[in-house]
Amino acid sequence: MSTLLPAGIGDGGHTFSFLTRDLGHYLRGKSGMHPLLGAANVLTAETNDEDTLLPYVRRLHEVLGFDGVLSSCDYYLPTVAAIAADLGLPGPGRDAVAAACQKHRTRELCRAAGVPGPAFAVVTGAEEAVEAAQGIGGYPVVVKPVDLCGGMFVTRVDDEAQLREALGRLGAFSRNARGQERSPQVLIEECLQGPEFSVETVTARGVTVVVGVTDKRLTGAPAFIEAGHMFPAALSPAERDALTGTARAAITALGLDDTVAHIEIMLTADGPRLIEVNPRPAGNRITELVRRVTGIDLAAVHAQVAAGLTPDLTVRPTGVGSAAIAFVVPREAGALTAISGAEDWPRDPRIVEHTLAEPGATVQAATNNNNYLGHVMVAVESCGTAGHLAQSLIDILSVEVAR
C-alpha cells in the first residue's frame, strides 16, 4: 500500500507531504526511488512521540495547509487520527481507531454489541494463559498479540507446552517494526474452523458502502500465512449477506466513520465470526484486485475520504470478472539459488502482474505475511476462476534454496 497510496493521492489531484522518523528505511537496499519519496515535502520527526509530534505538525499546517492526514501503516493509524483531530481535519475518531488497532478492545466492544466472534480471554502471563485456554473450551487455541499485524506471532497451539513456547517467543519481541514498545497483553482465542474472507468497505459521513468480499487462502499451519486472495469471493447471496452484515455490525460497534476498512471474517458452520477490523485499505495488493474488477481504486478513495470528500463508488465495467493473487511462501531458510517455472509468465495475457525474488536473496522460512519470495496476479473474464489459476501458477514453480 505504501507504493499504491502515492499514486492514489495523485490521481485525486492532490500533492502530499511525507513525514517519517526514519528516512533511511526508504533508501536502504531499494532499487529505484520509493514512491513516497516523490512527495512535495519529505520531513523527518519522531513519529512515536505524540507530545512533540503534534506541535510540530501544527506548525507545518500553518505553512503547508493540509487537507487531510493518512497512513497505510497499522502502527500509526491512531497517531493519524490524533493529528487529524488536533488540526480539525476529517477522519475517524481516535478512540474508534485505537479500539480497532488493539485487537482485545475490538473483541470486547464487538462482544458487548453482539457481533459474533470466537470465545476469547485477555491475559498477561503464562499461568493466566493456561487457565484461560481451559476456560474457553480447551485446546487447540490461538495465541494472538493484541498490537501486531501481518500475522506476526499468531499461532495455533495444541497443548500447554506449545502455549508456553508461543508466549515465550512473543514475549521476547518487545518492540514492533516501528520501534514502538509492545503491549504485554495477549489474546487467547477459540480456534475457529472454516474459510476466511475479508469485506472491503468505505464509510463516509455515517454511511457504509460494501465494495465487495475477498476470499483468503491460508497456509503454514500452525501459523496463519496468507497464500492468496480472489476478488470477488465465490459466495451464495446468503453467505455474502451474512459476511457483510457482520462487517457492518463491527464498524458500528467500534464507532468507525470516514475511513476505508478491511474486515476479516471466518465463515464457520455456525455462521460468520469476526476475526479483526483494520481501519485502512487492505494490504497484499487486494486493492488492485478490487480495482481490476470494479474500477474502484481504494487507495485513491482512502485519500479522498481523508480529505473530507465523498468518493464515487460506482462500479464500472472493466471486462474482468475475477482477479486473484497468489504468493510464493518459502518453506526453508537459506540463500535463494533460483526460482524456475515462470519463464512463460511474461507472455501469458491472463497474468497482469508478477514479481519474483532474485538469486542470492536471503530466504527465511515464512511464519507470517512478511517473508514472501514473490507473487503472481491474474485477471480473467469468468467469475470465480482466478483463484485456482493464480495458485496453479505458483504450484508449478521450483524454488531452490542453499542452506
Task: List, for residues 191-220, the tens digit of each pLDDT value.
Answer: 999 999 999 999 999 999 999 999 999 999
Residue 101, pLDDT > 70, answer: yes
pLDDT digits (tens, 9 = 90+) for 33-52: 889 999 999 999 999 999 99
**Torsion over CA of 218, 243, 71 and 145, rounded to 10 degrees?**
-50
DSSP result, 162-223: HHHHHHHHHHT--B-TTSPBPPS-EEEEE---S-EEEEEEEEETTEEEEEEEEEEEEESTTB
Identify the helix (H) or strand (E) that includes residue 388. Answer: helix 386-395
What is the per-residue pLDDT for 30? 63
Please give the helix or strand (H or E) that residue 380 lies within, else none.
Answer: strand 374-380
How crowded is residue 89: how many other Cβ atoms within 10 Å of its Cβ?
18
Q: Could you tell me which of 190, 228, 192 has the C-alpha nearest to residue 326?
A: 228
- Mean pLDDT over 116-126 rounds to 97
pLDDT at position 29 is 64
Q: Angle, to 10 degrees, between the axis of helix 94-101 and the axis of helix 77-87?
A: 180
Q: Give pLDDT tens digits for 340-364.
A: 999 999 999 999 999 999 999 999 9
Asked if residue 53 has pLDDT above 70, the reply is: yes
- Helix axis angle, 298-306 to 4-11, nearest 10°: 60
pLDDT band for position 259 (50/70/90)? very high
Give 236's contacts (C-beta < 8 A, 6+ positions apart): none
Residues 77-86: contacts with CB under 8 Å, at least 24 apart: 77/101, 77/279, 77/280, 79/47, 79/50, 79/53, 82/50, 82/54, 83/53, 83/54, 83/57, 84/306, 86/54, 86/57, 86/58
Residue 28 clears pLDDT 80, i.e. is over it: no
Q: Which three cell numbers stand for residue 271?
A: 455462521
User: Stretch 222-228: mean pLDDT, rounded?
Assistant: 97
pLDDT value at 224 more than 90: yes
**How far is residue 11's CA from residue 299's CA, in Å, rounded to a whole number?**
10
Q: Tell me the CA distances in angstroms from 191 to 30, 180, 187, 223, one per residue in order.
A: 39, 29, 12, 12
Query: How confident is the model at residue 26, as a pLDDT?
Result: 84
Average pLDDT over residues 141-148: 97
Q: Does residue 393 register a pLDDT over 80?
A: yes
CA 183 to chain centre: 20
Of all residues in the chain, what percent carry a pLDDT higher than 70? 100
Q: Is the dihedral of CA 271, 277, 279, 284 positive or negative?
A: negative
Task: For each of the domains in the chain, give its residue range(s) and CATH number, in order of start.
Answer: 4-92 (3.40.50.20), 118-190 (3.30.1490.20), 320-403 (3.30.470.20)
Contacts of 19 (CB under 8 A, 6+ apart): 43, 44, 45, 47, 57, 60
Question: What is the pLDDT confidence band of residue 12, given thresholds at 50, 70 and 90?
Answer: confident
DSSP labels, 256-308: --SEEEEEEEEEETTEEEEEEEESS--STTHHHHHHHHH---HHHHHHHHHTT
Q: Which residues contact 71 (CB under 8 A, 6 or more apart)?
A: 77, 79, 80, 280
- Describe the strand order of the beta sheet including 141-145 as a list of residue ranges: 120-123, 186-190, 141-145, 155-157
Residue owning grid cell 485505537: 98
Using one digit for the tens of pLDDT, what is the confidence trace for 69-81?
Answer: 999 899 999 999 9
Contact 296, 209 (CB under 8 A): no
Residue of 378, 377, 260, 381 lying closest to 317 (CA atoms): 381
In this model, does residue 24 exceed pLDDT 90?
no
Distance CA 244, CA 251 (A): 11
Distance CA 205, CA 191 (A): 36
pLDDT by residue (tens digit) across 165-200?
A: 999 999 999 999 899 999 999 999 999 999 999 999
Average pLDDT, rounded, for the chain: 96
Per-residue pLDDT at 110 exceeds 90: yes
